[in-house]
Amino acid sequence: MSKAEQLTGQPPPSSLEHDWLESENTHREPPLPINGLLYPVDLDDRRVVKAFESVVDKVISEVGGLPAKIETVQVDDPRSGFPIPRIVIGFRVDELDAEQLAQLEEVAVRVYGDDVRGTKTRQGKAAKTHFYPKLDAGRGEKPSLDSTIGWYLGTETGTPNRSYLGIFVYRHIGKTDIAAGVAARKDGDWFTEKTLTDNTGQTYQGGSYIIEIRESGKYTDPNGGVVNSGLYQTDLAELAIYVSMVLTGKKLPPVRPGLTYRIYHRMNQIGLGPDTELPGLEPQLRLVEKTMILPLASPELTEALGGTPKSMGLIGQVGTGKTQIIKHFLRQNNGIMMVPVSAYDLETELHKAMERRRILPRVRDIAVKVEKPVVLVIEDLEFLANSDNEASNLLLNELAGIHNSGYRVLWTTNHLEKINPQLLEPERLGGGLVFCGLPTAAARKLILDQHLVVASRTKELPLFNQVTIGGTSISSSEARDKLLQALAELTEGFTPRFLKDIVVEAIGNFMLRISLEKCRLDGLTELDLEGQGFNVGDWDEALQKVRRSYDVESRIREDERLRKLTLPGSGGSRSKLGFPQTAEGNDDDGSTLASQLLRVAASVD
């Protein structure tokens, strides 16, 4: 555990918590797990493959399937000769009967379609077993001590090799067996150790059956081009889980709804981590729940009352919690498919002919399959819906179909004024506008509190000591609370991100003091915190540093401008959903942390 983690109580950013949700710019393809419905596995990114493996392992464990081994390998492209990556999901069993083989074929047909090369001919007879060199042989390498015999369940033609995509069911056999011309049993049964014989007529003592799913994904080819191929992540995960269930004798779920929703929900949970509190954003969360989530998640109640779920827009400047609200709902298992779509990708799609579109048809297919309502999530909508952008007119037509299909949209923008007014009609995107303003003093204190632990993580050493300011003594138990209150009152106009920066800077100052006192940078441990504690200087220096990089006045002006656009009827009164029109008052002589802390310490709670 890092020192910063011990002091802040916050783990370092997860490699799976992707920065596209932390950024206000979503004009690029978001990685797994958020986009598992719309993109294949990124084979160039080890973190993405690991996240995918975690999802598959988790759901396989839940359904009682056979554990899988997932890895990426390089294979030679038969056409170009260049090495290309494949993701391989492997299983091993000692016995495999004809019924299980038929189920594996059914699984392949579910995912790859009716053109799968099956285990029987079109006349219903047992198809001839395929012979091919062992799958791990290199290009041009001849089989030596052993080869393989088995079935290929996929859509490619020709002699299967390890660059093919699909399901491979095989076992290793010896050269003598090849010479004997071992073929499929005429009665259609599958091979077992008791039924497969070598050329001497003796029972073949071969190895276990190996079942492999070999698929492509997103990767960079040797020429520097980006290849996007293979199954979508949710489809590939579902295929792997189905195979694992067959191999343990579990009954397959119906094609509809299948396991897509369950898998997708796990992807979001693993990728985003546990839910956290969102201080100051509770009213916004309730509005989205009331206006969109609840009516979609409870359609019978909605219909009984004559209600209608609406699309929702989150309006606010950078860093006011819009993305955190989206993360919150992506984590929820509320029976709704929340599907983030890049504004850039959607614009590209809208300019394509209908038959070449991929994203929206895929969303429609998933909605039909899982039988659940769909919410499209589009961040930075102004990029797509700008009145000057031709795509906004195309979006107008598309949204009519989306709305009639029962889908809704949760969108965000920093620039409400740039969006085509026609798109803000209630039957399109303007069903409900939610203003995400700058946090109030009470919310700022909660945000600061969220990022600062009370004591060290393991030994629970106190981090605040008794202090005396201007003759006023503040006990160690009160020091932390009073400090956060003073900071909250001095940070009007600060967004959550910059409030966190203050905590991080103060921790750095504290650690540096300890380092200078110990005369070393390396090897410091939690034990070095004994007798130490934050002082006012740590926080004052942190506050001043962050202030120098933060234009508070422009933030407040922008907040007020967006509030008036979003809530034109709110007047000058304080709104729970936004920043008050009149600035929060701070005495001029309270502009430094020390003087503000003195005033707070002397106040009566």
- CATH number of 401's domain: 3.40.50.300
The answer to whether residues 492 and 499 touch, using CB atoms and an 8 Å cutoff, is no
Q: Which residues contact 3 (CB under 8 A, 6 or more apart)?
A: 511, 524, 526
Q: Strands (DSSP E) along 492-581, which ranges?
A: none
Mean pLDDT over 533-555 rounds to 92
Task: Based on the fold, state whether residues 414 and 482 are members of the same structural domain.
Answer: no
Q: Which residues contact 231 (CB under 8 A, 6 or more apart)?
A: 40, 111, 215, 239
Selection from 197, 192, 187, 195 nearest residue 126 by Cα? 187
Residue 399 lies in a domain: yes
Residue 518 in any domain: the answer is: yes
Please tell me the distance from the alpha carbon of residue 381 to that of residue 468, in angstroms, as a whole number.
51
pLDDT in tens, 266-306: 998 888 877 888 888 999 999 999 999 999 999 999 999 99
Give percent of the chain above pLDDT 90. Answer: 49
Collapsing DSSP to helix, strand or coil, 170 comes out as: strand
Q: Structural domain tally of the chain?
A: 3
- Arithmetic mean of pLDDT over the chain: 80
pLDDT digits (tens, 9 = 90+) for 3-49: 333 333 333 333 223 332 233 333 333 333 457 899 999 999 988 89
Alpha helix stretches (DSSP H) within 86-232: 98-112, 175-179
Same domain, 133 and 149: yes
Residues 467 and 321 in one domain: no
- At 148-192, the pLDDT tens digits run 667 889 998 776 777 889 998 887 665 555 444 444 434 434 444
What pLDDT was estimated at residue 207? Answer: 59
Q: Which pLDDT score, from 0 to 100, does residue 122 have?
A: 54
| Cβ-based neighbour number of residue 121 at 10 Å | 10
Q: Which amino acid is at 460?
A: E
Model pTM above 0.85: no
Residue 3 placed within a domain: no
What is the pLDDT, as a whole number, of residue 485? 93
Reading the block at residue 425, the tokens are: 């009609």
Which has the closest alpha carbon to 166: 105, 79, 228, 103? 105
Place of tokens 């923008």: 413
| CB 297 within 8 Å of CB 221 | no
Residue for token digits 């934050």? Answer: 534
What's the CA gap between 68 and 211, in Å, rounded? 10
Q: Residue-wise over 381-413: b if at least 16 C-beta within 10 A, else e?
A: bbbbbbeebebbebbbebbeebbeeebbbbbbb
Q: Which residues pair with 330 in a beta bridge?
A: none
Q: Identify the bridge partners of residue 148 per DSSP, sorted by sequence position.
A: 132, 172
Query: What is the reported pLDDT for 21?
Result: 29
Indicate the range of 90-104, 116-130, 150-164 predicted with least confidence: 116-130
Cα Dmax for the chain: 100
Q: What is the pLDDT of residue 591?
A: 61
Angle CA 381–382–384, to nearest 5: 70
499 has a pLDDT exceeding 50: yes
Same domain, 303 and 371: yes
Token pair for 231: 């199954």
Residue 269 lies in a domain: no
> Which are the contacts of 453, defined by CB distance < 8 A and separation ≥ 6?
6, 7, 8, 9, 463
- In the prediction, which pLDDT does 124 show? 56
**What pLDDT score does 15 carry?**
28
Convert the pLDDT of each residue in 192-245 to its tens digit.
444 444 444 454 455 578 899 999 999 998 888 999 899 999 999 999 999 999
Residues forming a β-bridge with 338: 375
Q: What is the model's pLDDT at position 429?
A: 86
Q: How far apart, in whole angstroms, are the C-alpha atoms of residue 209 and residue 98?
A: 13
Helical ranges in 74-216 per DSSP H: 98-112, 175-179
Contact 52, 233 (CB under 8 A): yes
Pairing of strands 374-378, 337-340: parallel
Which residue range is the domain that position 406 belongs to?
Answer: 282-435
Query: Is there a contact between 265 and 336 (Cβ–Cβ < 8 Å)?
Result: no
Tell me: do 428 and 454 sit in the same domain: no
Residue 570, pLDDT above cutoff 80:
no
* 39, 218 Cβ separation under 8 angstroms: yes
Using an 8 Å Cβ cutoff, are 220 and 226 in contact?
Answer: yes
Q: Is the dihedral of CA 181, 187, 192, 196 positive or negative?
A: negative
Task: Identify the pLDDT of residue 181.
Answer: 46
pLDDT of res. 171: 74
Amino acid letter, residue 117: R
Q: Is 371 left (phi over 0), alpha (psi -120 to 50) or beta?
A: left
Report the C-alpha gap between 579 and 582 in whole angstroms: 9
581 or 166, greater pLDDT = 166
In degrees, rounded to 5, the angle at the alpha carbon of residue 190 between the alpha carbons of residues 189 and 192 is 120
Q: Which of 435, 462, 494 is the last residue of a domain?
A: 435
Looking at the domain assignment, is residue 34 inside a domain? no
Q: From start to end of 407-512, where are the E strands? A: 408-413, 432-435, 467-469, 472-474
Same domain, 503 and 597: yes
Q: What is the pLDDT of residues 413-456, one digit of tens each?
A: 999 999 988 888 887 888 889 999 999 999 999 999 999 988 88
Domain end point (choices 231, 263, 295) = 263
**Sequence letter at residue 12:** P
Domain termination site, one of 435, 460, 478: 435
Question: Quick one: pLDDT at residue 161?
Answer: 75
Q: Are 231 and 40 in contact (CB under 8 A)?
A: yes
- For the record, the structure tokens of 183 come out as 């073929």
Residue 591 CB burial class (10 angstroms; 0-12, 13-18, ≥19): exposed
The reply to whether 449 and 368 lie within a common domain is no
Q: How many CB atoms lie within 10 A of CB 248?
A: 15
Take residue 60 and report the two structure tokens written for it.
Answer: 């396989």
For residue 301, what are its two tokens?
């109640």
Q: Is residue 23 in some structural domain? A: no
Q: What angle do CA 141, 143, 147 make, to 5 degrees?
A: 135
Residue pair 393/399 in contact by the 8 Å Cβ criterion: no
Residue count of the chain, please give it. 605
Whole-number pLDDT of residue 502:
96
Q: Is 416 within a domain?
A: yes
Q: Are residues 493 and 561 in the same domain?
A: yes
Do 309 and 253 fall into the same domain? no
pLDDT at 76 over 80: yes
Round to whole Å and give the CA distance between 63 and 254.
Answer: 14
The reply to whether 272 falls in a domain is no
Q: Say if residue 139 is in the same domain as residue 185.
A: yes
State whether 431 and 336 are in the same domain. yes
Asked if the model's pLDDT at residue 517 lies above 60, the reply is yes
Pair 588, 462 in one domain: yes
Cβ–Cβ under 8 Å, residues 209 and 96: yes
Average pLDDT estimate for 96-125: 81
